[in-house]
Homo-oligomer: A and B are copies of this chain.
Amino acid sequence: MDTVNESVARIEAIIGRKVKRDISQMTEWAKGNLARAAEAIMNMPNAHVGIVTGFYIQHAEPPSPETDGLGGMAHLAAGLANAGIPVTVITDAPCAKAVWAVVEALPAPVNLEVVSTTESSVLRLRQYMETGDRPITHLIAIERVSPGSDGKPHREHGWDMSRETAPLHLLFSDPAAKRRWYTIGMGDGGNEIGMGSLPKEIIESGIPNGEVIAATTPVDSLIVAGVSNWGAYGLLAAMACTKPALRDALLRYFNRDMDHRFLSAAVEAGQAVDDSRVDSPGRPQMSVDSIPWEQHAALLEEISAVVASHAR
């Protein structure tokens, strides 16, 4: 039987696999963060986990959030809620329909908060999160864009996303905030919330257009993955390794059928899009980061097998 550390390291290696870009410098730097993030949540009594997701693609047909991020949110939300840890999913108006559709597909209800695209709307939500009955203790961003060096959020080729993006990064790093939660960021491209933790030379040289798009929002634990969703798969599995008493509850819905259900809800009800390229718009389809659903399901099962072998 593996030690917890060995199992989590194996999971970290699986989710950090190269897809198209070489992200090895980033994953190398981030090694150990998956374990730290899992421990941070599992060791906190009365945790309440916020999950921020939704990456809006203006140049898709129709304009819509991309599929990546939504499935990761769903697995984390389903597992945590089933383990008795309350979850609040957070997004903005442009992504709200798709995120709601996926939340609707969850096996148990979780909270949903939707802000408009204004700063005041985000700051009002933050105040609520700080002062509600059960304040947020951990805040996770999955595939959520962060401002770059010019203070504006950008797509990977440089498009300014300000109009269609709420400044939800202010929940993670606003200097004026009395931030009261542990922050976790998951990304695969370099422009997502959390990537601001990377040393400047790695992030700017490691990604195309890095000088413009590289994220400036740091987090306490950065999880770099080949596909952002995989970071969420990995965190769920790492938590299950870290806390055996919650393992079965956390992983009850971590299977291919549920993954298919979540992606179907995102695509069919939410019109979530994928495979957006400069020369051809993204469209609603059963893929994530241009990888067909089946391959994500296989990776999910590979991660699941690591937890199972750890448990034996």
Chain A residues within 8 Å of B, Cβ to Cβ: 62-64, 93-101, 104, 111-118, 121, 124, 128, 163-164, 268-269, 271
Contacts and interface: CB of A to CB of B under 8 A. Distances in A.
Contacts of A101: 63, 94
Q: Which of A96, A101, A164 has most chain B Cβ within 10 Å?
A: A96
Given A93-B100, A104-B163, A269-B62, A114 B115 contact: yes
B116 A113 contact: yes
A269 B163 CA distance: 14
Contacts of A163: 104
A117 B113 CA distance: 10
Contacts of A268: 62-63
Contacts of A118: 111-112
A111 B112 CA distance: 20
B97 A114 contact: no
12 contacts: A62-B269, A62-B271, A63-B269, A93-B97, A93-B100, A96-B97, A97-B98, A100-B117, A112-B121, A114-B114, A114-B115, A114-B116
A93 B114 contact: yes
A62 B128 CA distance: 33
A121 B115 CA distance: 12
Contacts of A115: 114
The 4 closest A-B CB pairs, nearest first, are: A96-B96, A93-B100, A114-B114, A112-B116
Give the oligomeric copy count.
2
B93 A116 contact: no
B104 A116 contact: no
Contacts of A104: 163-164
Nearest to A269: B63
Given A93-B96, A104-B163, A111-B116, 16 more contacts: A62-B269, A63-B101, A64-B97, A93-B97, A94-B97, A95-B97, A96-B97, A96-B114, A97-B97, A100-B116, A111-B118, A112-B116, A112-B117, A113-B121, A114-B116, A271-B271
Contacts of A112: 93, 116-118, 121
A60 B142 CA distance: 30
A207 B209 CA distance: 60
A308 to B, nearest CB: 35
Contacts of A124: 128
A64 B101 CA distance: 11
A237 B97 CA distance: 33
A269 B57 CA distance: 11
Contacts of A100: 93-94, 96, 116-117
A121 B113 CA distance: 8
Contacts of A96: 93-94, 96-97, 100, 114
A159 to B, nearest CB: 16
A123 to B, nearest CB: 13
